[in-house]
Structure 1
Amino acid sequence: MKLVVGLGNPGGQYEKTRHNVGWLVVDEVGRRWGAAWRKEKDAQVAEVRVGAVPGAKVLLVKPQTFMNASGKAVAPLVGFYKLEPEAVLAVQDDLDSPFGLLKLRPGGRHGGQNGVRDLIRVLGTETFPRLKIGISRPPVGWDPADWVLSKWREEEAATLAELVRLGADAVEVWAGSGLAEAQGRFNSTDLRPKPDPSSERPAEPTASGAVPDPGVS
């Protein structure tokens, strides 16, 4: 058994916010594998088998305790199933990664993500893997707390959908083949728009060999 926790906040007002991207990934995994969600203590959970038959057995978890108390929902499940930290994958939003990037890490500090912070507190270790979905730093003038609770913009929808799809793929590979395999396949993900090469083409020299100055008529 492996456990995948999508970090987020319960309630319709948070459903389409940046902080809940972990839920989107876990929901996509559940949709693919016919999850039957049920309430268990402080979480919505579903057991699925992902991958080729018989598939890896995975417990999908969506805490119902709000982000800052995510560990309260996860710790009893980890204890009940007697899981080692390496068998618990946290799917989280990441302020320090640009929107369009996805990466897996074997553990480490919480980086200010309060759901991860609480998981570290209750599990007593930093050595559980993370799937980080970049949401970028807030624009100038935005408080980070307001930014993570802001809703996705319409022009971000296509990239978000692709990130969620790839995130669900990464969860499946992690569950079936391990962290190293998932890192090798998905840590190069970069869906940021690429610059137009034509806009960076140097100016053509004149007949005399000098590059014309656009500020001189």
Structure 2
Amino acid sequence: MNSDKTPNLIIPRLIIGLGNPEPKYDRTRHNIGFEAVDSLARDWGLSWQENKRFQGFIAEGDGPLPGKIRLLKPQTYMNRSGQSVRAVLDWYKLAPESILVIYDDMDLPLGRLRIRLSGSAGGHNGIKSMIAHVGTENFARLRIGIGKSTEKATISHVLGRFTPQENQVILKVLDLSRKAIELGLKQGLQKAMSLYNNQSVEIGSNLC
């Protein structure tokens, strides 16, 4: 008997951006997850609604293709993000494998993104909270590189804002992220990984 060893396509139905909710954290490196889902909502014509049950803002609609997609911005602060995610999964009866979470990563240089289908928290408190509340590491993530600072302490770096030059890179990275996610929605995240994990944006690059 022939066995089909083709892996199941992983197509996200809930896309989560991680960040901190107060205005003082707006547009900081640590809040790049919020920026990413805000960008998706604008591009896809989705509107944010505050939901007390979910402890966050949620946007839902058809997105770039037919079939409902949901975006989530937990308002619990980074280290309790899992509470919000768990509430959404329970309410909509979604499996952890239907998640794609977007967040900052100091171990990736600025201009890089990396999609993984599972893995450890890698020291990120938002992912630690998600693993604790969801009960598994088996959910996809898209990490956006913010690089490391040789001059600032870690906290000062992640809670600092991008320079004007860095912001030009981030705008292109967010566009690249959208293209990767849209491909993932159409053909599975495995395909998006193969095409976008090795791409990068440099300061002054024309990549878009």
Q: TM-score range by the shorter chain?
A: 0.7 to 0.9
Per-residue deviation, 1:3: 0.5
Match of 2:56 in 1: 43
SS in 2 for 1:50: coil
Match of 2:156 in 1: 146
Partner Cα distance (2:67, 2:178) in 1: 14
The letter of the residue matching 2:150 is P
SS in 2 for 1:56: coil
8 Å contact from structure 2 (residues 169, 203) kept in 1: no
User: Which ranges of structure 1 fall in alignment gaps of 5 or more residues?
Assistant: 195-217
Per-residue deviation, 1:131: 0.3
Match of 1:15 in 2: 26
Partner Cα distance (1:154, 1:51) in 2: 30
8 Å contact from structure 1 (residues 50, 176) kept in 2: no
So what's the TM-score if we normalise by structure 2?
0.87
| 1:118-129 matches, cutoff 5 A | 118-129=129-140
Q: 1:183 aligns with which of 174, 181, 193?
A: 193
Per-residue deviation, 1:73: 1.0
Q: 1:101 aligns with which of 87, 93, 112?
A: 112
Partner Cα distance (2:93, 2:36) in 1: 24
Q: 2:169 aligns with which of 159, 162, 183?
A: 159
Partner Cα distance (1:56, 1:158) in 2: 32
Per-residue deviation, 1:51: 2.5
8 Å contact from structure 1 (residues 71, 121) kept in 2: yes
8 Å contact from structure 1 (residues 85, 128) kept in 2: yes
| 1:167-206 matches, cutoff 5 A | 167-192=177-202
| 1:30-69 matches, cutoff 5 A | 30-41=41-52, 42-52=55-65, 55-69=66-80
Identity, % of aligned positions = 37
8 Å contact from structure 1 (residues 51, 176) kept in 2: no
8 Å contact from structure 2 (residues 115, 140) kept in 1: yes
The letter of the residue matching 2:130 is L
8 Å contact from structure 1 (residues 101, 190) kept in 2: yes
So what's the TM-score if we normalise by structure 1?
0.84
SS in 1 for 2:68: strand
Partner Cα distance (1:131, 1:38) in 2: 23
Partner Cα distance (1:81, 1:173) in 2: 24
Match of 1:136 in 2: 147
The letter of the residue matching 1:45 is I
Partner Cα distance (2:194, 2:61) in 1: 24
| 1:73-84 matches, cutoff 5 A | 73-84=84-95
1:190-210 deviations in whole A, cap 9, x for unaligned? 11359xxxxxxxxxxxxxxxx
The letter of the residue matching 1:153 is T
SS in 1 for 2:62: strand
User: Which ranges of structure 2 fall in alignment gaps of 5 or more residues?
Assistant: 1-11
Q: Is the radius of gyration larger for structure 1 or structure 2?
A: 1
Residue range with higher mean Cα deviation, 165-174 or 119-128: 165-174
Per-residue deviation, 1:24: 1.1
